[in-house]
Structure 1
Amino acid sequence: MPTIIPTFRYDDARAAITLLCEAFGFEEHAVHEDGGVIAHAELKLGDAYIMLGQTRDENRERVPAGPSSVYVVVEDVDALHARAVAAGAEIMEGLTERDYGSREFAARDPAGNVWWFGTYAPQD
């Protein structure tokens, strides 16, 4: 069965993990360091995962840090928005009602990735 796991690179992976956990409710699942640098990390939100790692000088051209955009479906977007604001996340767009039935907001992480959190979930 195919699984899609968004993957990100950060100049400071530890700071990114801290923000993603404190502001958006992710939990550390696995963190692997190599010489004091986070080479690979897995964060979990509900039953979904993301993977991330630290940008390294030797592969900065090939695998640069951000920016990307990802949409995460959540049940209580208002509570998550309040949590993100309290944690000091950079809110790009506040809570907004969309005409297609979503309530959502957007925030930017330290690498410039834009995280959309909302109630819209595609239906089969």
Structure 2
Amino acid sequence: MAGTQGGRPSIYPTLLYTDAKAAVRQLTEALGFTELALYEGEDGAVLHAELVQGDGAVMLGSKGRGGVFDTAMKESGTVGVYVVVDDVDAHHQWAVDHGVEILMPPTDQDYGSRDYLARDLEGNVWSFGTYAPAISG
């Protein structure tokens, strides 16, 4: 597969959440991700999670755990992540039915995609659409 290393994506957006357990719940239950891995500390905080959507994945964890990445991300703001889905309207309806904040309903774009925008519980913006540019390797 072009753009992957041995069948694995070569880019993983990585997010930190104040309540990473709630983020995992929302992303899996309301936005269609599948939990691949979840590691918790003794205090129950999410040390590392991997969630899959199609042939891509995101990594996430709890803020305030210490370490170089946590320190580097301390002053960062929210992020935007684009995710390719086959049926934007069905995906959108599922998100609506699960109470996700919708910023833009499914909309046909000039460049041929159909997209919608949602905001997660901690303000990150998730775009779901049909546009999937080919990556030549």
Could you tell me the percent identity over the aligned residues? 50
Q: CA deviation at 1:27?
A: 1.0
> Which consecutive unaligned segments of at least 5 residues does structure 1 have?
none
The alignment yields a C-alpha RMSD, in angstroms, of: 1.8
Aligned counterpart, 1:81: 92
Q: CA deviation at 1:66?
A: 4.8
**Contact 1:10-1:66 within 8 A present in 2 as well:** no
Within a 5 Å distance, the mapping from 1:23-62 to structure 2 comes to 23-35=30-42, 36-56=44-64, 58=66, 62=72
Alpha-carbon separation, structure 2, partners of 1:91 and 1:105: 8
Using structure 1 for the length normalisation, give the TM-score. 0.91
Instruction: Report how many residues are paired.
Output: 124
**CA 81–102 in structure 1, closer or farther in 2 if over 3 Å, else same:** same
Alpha-carbon separation, structure 2, partners of 1:96 and 1:77: 9
Using structure 2 for the length normalisation, give the TM-score. 0.83
Aligned counterpart, 1:7: 14
Q: Provide runs of 4+ in structure 1 moved above 6 Å.
A: none
Q: Secondary structure of 2:122's partner?
A: coil
Single out whichever of 64-73 and 53-62 deviates more from structure 2: 53-62
Aligned counterpart, 1:94: 105
**Contact 2:54-2:85 within 8 A present in 1 as well:** no
- Alignment partner for residue 121 of structure 2, among 104, 110, 115? 110
Deviations 1:83-124 (A, max 9, x none): 000010010111111010010100001121100000111135
